[in-house]
Amino acid sequence: MSELPTGTITFLFSDIEGSTRLAQALDAAWPPLLERHQEIARAVWSAHGGIVAGYLDEVLAGAAVRHNGRIHVTGELTVRYVKPVPLDTPLLGRGRVVQDHGKYLDLEGTLEDYRSRAVLAQARGRFLPIS
């Protein structure tokens, strides 16, 4: 396997308020509660796909900047969810310009499992330059 790609990575962190105190007070009862918190978070994230859409939005925006060096905003984004996106798995985002209309760009991209290269989600978007 080749090395993981380098670049900007965005993380989303969740927290349980007072978790250190709770973990100490609950001792052995803490791990099942933490696991339940993580199950709920996974269910919420996978149910609405917001994180996947956010990743693909960033991938396409990066492809737009790479295309012409200009910063763009999302005018339209359509995401097709192909497979569940597992947590704790390295992902690879690919984006490319499909057509440059001058006043806007049409792009498409994928979010893939880094190791297997399986496509997990696809996106098409229209991006407008702001600079």
Task: Check pLDDT > 70 for residue 89.
Answer: yes
Read off the tokens for 39.
């199950």
Among residues 62, 69, 67, which one has the least CA distance to residue 93? 62
Round to the nearest angstrom and report the end-to-end CA distance of the chain.
Answer: 39
As given in the structure block, the two tokens for residue 4 are 């993981």
Other CB atoms closer than 10 Å to residue 68's CB: what's the count? Answer: 12
- Helices 30-48 + 19-26 axis angle, to 10: 140
Give pairs for 39-43: CB < 8 Å, separation 24+. Answer: 41/14, 42/87
Q: What is residue 26's predicted lDDT score, i.e. its pLDDT?
A: 85
**Model pLDDT for residues 11-55, shown as the tens digit of each residue:** 555 667 777 888 888 889 888 888 887 777 666 655 456 788 989
Q: What is the CA radius of gyration of the chain?
A: 18
- What's the burial of 56, exposed, middle or buried (CB within 10 Å: 0-12/13-18/19+)? buried
Share of the chain above pLDDT 70, in %: 80
Task: Tally Cβ neighbours within 10 Å of residue 110.
Answer: 20
Domain ranges of the chain: 17-48, 51-129
* Mean of the per-residue pLDDT values of the chain: 84
pLDDT per position as a tens digit, 43-64: 665 545 678 898 999 999 999 9
- 51-129 maps to CATH 2.170.150.20: no
pLDDT at residue 43, rounded to an integer: 66
